Structure 1
Amino acid sequence: MKKIICSLPLCFVLHTASSQQSNSNVIQVNIDLHKTAQTIRNFAASDAWAGQFTGNWPDNKRNQIADWLFSSDTTASGQPKGIGLSMWRFNIGAGSAEQGDNSGIKDEWRRAESFLQPDHTYNWKKQSGQLWFLQAAKQRGVTDFLGFLNSPPVAFTRNGKAFADKGQSNLPPENYSAAAVFLKEVVQGIRIATGVSLNYINPVNEPQWDWSDGGQEGCPYNNEQIAGFTKAISKTFSEAKLPVKILITEAGKINYLYAPEDKSDKGSQINAFFNPRSSTYVGNLPNVYKGIAAHSYFTTSPEDTATAIRKRLHTALNGLEFWQSEYCILGDNAGEINGSGVDLGMDAALYMARVIHSDLTVANAAAWQWWLAISPYNYKDGLIYIDKDKTDGQLRDTKMMWVLGNYSRFIRPGAIRVQAEISDSAALKDLYLSAYKNKDNTLRIVVINNGRTAANASIHCKGLKAGSMRSYTTSAAENLQPGYISGNIVHIPPRSVVTLTGNLSNKQ
């Protein structure tokens, strides 16, 4: 057995030799509120691609989806109605839907409408299903919204399509300003049409990939092209006095933020955009967010590799904020789990939880965002699964959704991650823990038990009010099931994720 001291920013994880121990063994958890790490901005998911259809489904169906994703309400028994996402990602379409089969994108669910019409006027009745979800999110308390481009509008692309030719950037430099004006119009038009203000814009998405196969809307960029487009957007937003922040770069995998990898003109993006000596420096522009975004794809398995990559990222950031802005379970992940096939249960949910934990505690991610909130596909890419029907269908929630809720519902914007130490008094493996202090002076502890043996934890935190702790458990049989805690000993069931909540006194 061994003791892991959970020093920041390292992950909190207890590994011991045997998982078959008595439940009477107690793991002692010491929380130090004065040793802090990053501030949490949000937990989110996106409306791509199904939101365009499900937002126009019958009221009972679309409201159930919205409740699951956005609600922080509870039933009379205290059961959470939803996972309380704190940000919603809006896919700003490029216009491939209007092109139909001529778009070259075979799957019409991966096409998207555009507000920009062929005569260069705007139609704010387009993307109506997605606009409905923006309003539904706001009504349920979401305050932060992000608009992202997979491709610029087809009116401005080189080939008139929403995907590229042979990996060449599909947005020519002479159209940077026009595309920037389009984004300004979208921000203003959505606010007028729905009352929702987009707080952030992601102008590029996974710029390292070729986006030439017509599988979906997409556009590649090198660092020089990203800088040029970003400068045009910042200038346009600044002149219009829009307070919207530009979040770059949505790198296709974490490695591209700190290393050139296999694409020297598309990698080392922290240095490229935030080093004042770089020719592509944009960190001083008035609308550019002082943070950088990447996706956790292809970096999550095996666990020691995932940790090493995130440690390198944390070092390279040198204080710059990091957002993990898109993830779902892709590929075979070193044989640990395969992305193919729907999994409504705990296998996928526990793998997802480990990724969230690693991103938050090793990379110090300030935001963690899932890919498809709603999926019609036979893949591990959705929080909610639906029939692939444009007008109506069945809904299925997942344990992945509820496990994301173990974080998103309880760790609110402005929360600060705090240090914890875990003793070696119980010989359980695959136990992960992180702790957070919310702005309202509440404590949140998330415990992942990936093993098949239950654990007991004794929580020690100076300033934690006696009798204030509750638990919310997601397991094969429970979805954020509330429970009361007597004393400071907490039971963590096998193969579960448990959020512990408590109130803090003013003296800590």
Structure 2
Amino acid sequence: MAIFLILCLSTGSTHCQVVTHPPTEVFNLKIDPQNLFQEIDHFGASDAWSGQFVGNWPEDKKQTITDLLFSKDMDEQGNPIGIGLSLWRMNLGAASAGQGDGSGIRDPWRRAPSFLNEDGHFDREGQKGQFWLAHTAKEKKVEYLLAFLNSPPVWLTRNGKAFVDSGKQSNLASENQAAFANFMVATLMGLKEEGLAVDYISPVNEPQWDWEDGGQEGTPFWNREIASIVRSLDAKLQESGLSTKIDIAEAGQIEYLYGEHNRPGRANQIREFFEKDSENYIGDLAHLSTAISGHSYFTTSPVHQAVRKRELVANAVQQVPRLKYWMSEYCILGGNEGEISGSGKDLGMTPALYMARVIYHDLVVAQASAWHWWLAISPYDYKDGLVYISKSETDGDMEESKMLWAMGNYSRFIRPGYRRVSATLTDQQMQNKDLLASAYRDPESGNLVIVLVNANNSEAKVSLQVERDGIPEEWAGYLTDKDHDLAFRSILSPEEVLVPASSILTLTTGVP
């Protein structure tokens, strides 16, 4: 049997071309919509640190950037305009930007301003650029807003700076923990009064690292300190009447969630914070999120280790009733066993396919309910951006990356409330790093979404088999490869679907 695929090119043409492919081996993909796994909460990315500048760029350019990140609209040919993020991460700065070179942070773009000044006055102009981006996210129907902090404000730190003198001690004295909670709640109240309600606040970031090199704002924290800060913050939120939930603990690597690894007193955080016999137990606090968050850095290769570590995360989370796991930050860094280097900007498919593999393992193996990329907008020569810009504070150029659209193969179609369902490639004992499939279902509409990642340099043919419900007749496809950016494809025969070489193809029975 030959395989047919209708290609409707995204060049403005209304003509479709039927392409015939010779018969080759077909992979059978069995989908069971009734075999349910985790509920998906959101896909997100961060405004750090470019948001403070890009939010003040010319209107047309910053609208283009936010359309790419937030839009759920389609163009006239049915191609998505953007990747439809469902969560936006807004950095609440520690006011190091106001210190200039005296901040000790070498890169001015990594110094951050603050909405609040030392006397407690809120001014949205303090983080004008970030406010514009967050407000625009809400206007473009991004469902959730999360505010995160890398450091307490400089007037509360031990050394008056936004990074530490020594990684052996946190930069927040215990007597200032209540004031730190006051700072966060006052900022949230000010934002709400300006029409920007914050759904989640993350008070600490990667507390396992020492943060003593002046590369950015940051401080280590020990688990006992995190627990104390969260208790103070929970009490202040209760007093304020805000509904904001607290997200913890942005672990620097996922090993710190389920084991001590190499950071005693700063690790084993699932047990430390959610087991009732722990002295750092905070699982009963009214404003604590039902999720624990960690970062996928330095754990993505080789594949067998990536899988094993994510199995350990999932197992540890499952020991705590109703607890969920959020993968709350990732970009491609070093330490990838020679598979890929973080250095050097690459707008092409190589990092995009690597990213897609990480998303797959985090969702399917670790059973993450959320997945967040690091820099939404990057000025750096590094594999850390969805959109890249020139390093200019007032205006500049921008470029889309294939990582943007690869994330969109997930984020645009898998909406909050969808459930992951069983997806099994029956021709393989287990899915390998070169052909991956995962599936998701909207419990309300019944809409199915399948994401196929083909990292092979040859095309793959997949036969869809939907258990129990039978296979839907009509599917839409959205392709990201070297020539296409989430481009619409009509699927003529869902029983034999062509997945091009080095591509990501999302299939859906209905576009949300």
Where in structure 2 are the equivalents of 1:464-503 lying within 5 Å?
A: 466-488=472-494, 489-503=496-510
C-alpha deviations, 1:310-331, integer Å up to 9, x for none? 1111111125200000000001
User: Counterpart of 2:473 in structure 1: which amino acid?
Assistant: G
C-alpha deviations, 1:167-191, integer Å up to 9, x for none? 1111111111111111111112112
Residue 458 of structure 1 corresponds to 463
Q: 1:22 to 1:295 in 2, by over 3 A?
A: farther
Residues 347 and 400 in structure 2, CA contact (< 8 A), matched pair in contact too: yes
Residues 295 and 330 in structure 2, CA contact (< 8 A), matched pair in contact too: yes
User: Counterpart of 2:371 in structure 1: which amino acid?
Assistant: W
Q: Secondary structure at the match of 1:400?
A: helix
Q: 1:416 to 1:427 in 2, by over 3 A?
A: closer
Residue 267 of structure 2 corresponds to 267
Asked whether 1:405 is paired with 2:408, we answer: yes
Residue 128 of structure 1 corresponds to 128
C-alpha deviations, 1:440-469, integer Å up to 9, x for none? 321000000010111111112143664320
Asked whether 1:441 is paired with 2:446, we answer: yes
Q: 1:469 to 1:98 in 2, by over 3 A?
A: same
Which of structures 1 and 2 has the larger relative contact order (alpha carbons within 8 angstroms, sep 6+)? 1
Residue 283 of structure 1 corresponds to 283
Residue 62 of structure 1 corresponds to 62
TM superposition shift of 1:293:
0.4
Q: 1:467 to 1:236 in 2, by over 3 A?
A: same
CA distance in 1, matches of 2:378, 2:113: 18
Residue 41 of structure 1 corresponds to 41
Residue 292 of structure 2 corresponds to 292
TM-score of the superposed pair, with normalisation by structure 1: 0.93
Where in structure 2 are the equivalents of 1:106-121 lying within 5 Å?
A: 106-121=106-121
Residues 25 and 426 in structure 1, CA contact (< 8 A), matched pair in contact too: no
Residue 18 of structure 1 corresponds to none
User: Counterpart of 2:172 in structure 1: which amino acid?
Assistant: L
Residue 4 of structure 2 corresponds to none
CA distance in 2, matches of 1:385, 1:480: 18
Q: Secondary structure at the match of 1:127?
A: helix
TM superposition shift of 1:23:
5.1
CA distance in 1, matches of 2:451, 2:421: 12
CA distance in 2, matches of 1:427, 1:297: 24
CA distance in 2, matches of 1:178, 1:270: 27
Q: Secondary structure at the match of 2:337?
A: helix
Residues 450 and 507 in structure 2, CA contact (< 8 A), matched pair in contact too: yes
CA distance in 1, matches of 2:429, 2:292: 39
Residue 328 of structure 1 corresponds to 331
TM-score of the superposed pair, with normalisation by structure 2: 0.92
TM superposition shift of 1:503:
4.7
CA distance in 1, matches of 2:30, 2:297: 33
TM superposition shift of 1:27:
1.4
CA distance in 1, matches of 2:470, 2:349: 31
Q: Secondary structure at the match of 2:292?
A: strand
Asked whether 1:172 is paired with 2:170, we answer: no
Compute the RMSD of aligned alpha carbons: 1.7
User: Counterpart of 2:442 in structure 1: which amino acid?
Assistant: N
CA distance in 1, matches of 2:115, 2:413: 35
Residues 23 and 454 in structure 1, CA contact (< 8 A), matched pair in contact too: no
May I ask how many residue pairs the two structures share in their alignment?
A: 483
User: Counterpart of 1:476 in structure 2: which amino acid?
Assistant: K
TM superposition shift of 1:332:
3.8
User: Counterpart of 1:438 in structure 2: which amino acid?
Assistant: D
Residues 475 and 496 in structure 1, CA contact (< 8 A), matched pair in contact too: yes
C-alpha deviations, 1:87-144, integer Å up to 9, x for none? 0000001000011111111111000101222333222211101111011111111120
Which blocks of at least 5 consecutive residues in structure 1 are unaligned? Answer: 1-20
Residues 26 and 426 in structure 1, CA contact (< 8 A), matched pair in contact too: no
Residue 15 of structure 2 corresponds to none
CA distance in 1, matches of 2:355, 2:337: 15
Q: Relative to structure 2, which stretch is displaced further, 167-176 or 475-484? A: 167-176
Q: Relative to structure 2, which stretch is displaced further, 176-185 or 142-151? A: 176-185
TM superposition shift of 1:426:
13
CA distance in 2, matches of 1:122, 1:501: 45
User: Counterpart of 1:456 in structure 2: which amino acid?
Assistant: K
TM superposition shift of 1:407:
0.2
> Percent identity at matched positions?
48
CA distance in 2, matches of 1:466, 1:302: 37
User: Counterpart of 2:390 in structure 1: which amino acid?
Assistant: D
CA distance in 2, matches of 1:417, 1:427: 18
C-alpha deviations, 1:383-419, integer Å up to 9, x for none? 0110000011100000000000000000000010000
User: Counterpart of 1:169 in structure 2: which amino acid?
Assistant: S
Q: Relative to structure 2, which stretch is displaced further, 174-183 or 111-120? A: 111-120
Asked whether 1:421 is paired with 2:424, we answer: yes
Q: 1:198 to 1:23 in 2, by over 3 A?
A: farther
Q: Where do 4+ consecutive residues of structure 1 move more than 6 Å?
A: 425-429
CA distance in 1, matches of 2:429, 2:217: 50
CA distance in 2, matches of 1:49, 1:328: 14
User: Counterpart of 1:492 in structure 2: which amino acid?
Assistant: V
TM superposition shift of 1:487:
2.7
Where in structure 2 are the equivalents of 1:135-150 lying within 5 Å?
A: 135-150=135-150
User: Counterpart of 2:469 in structure 1: which amino acid?
Assistant: G
Residue 368 of structure 1 corresponds to 371
CA distance in 2, matches of 1:327, 1:425: 29
Residues 91 and 149 in structure 2, CA contact (< 8 A), matched pair in contact too: yes
CA distance in 1, matches of 2:506, 2:442: 14
CA distance in 2, matches of 1:230, 1:426: 44
User: Counterpart of 1:499 in structure 2: which amino acid?
Assistant: T
Where in structure 2 are the equivalents of 1:129-278 lying within 5 Å?
A: 129-167=129-167, 168-193=169-194, 195-278=195-278
User: Counterpart of 2:492 in structure 1: which amino acid?
Assistant: S
Q: 1:44 to 1:389 in 2, by over 3 A?
A: same
TM superposition shift of 1:22:
6.7
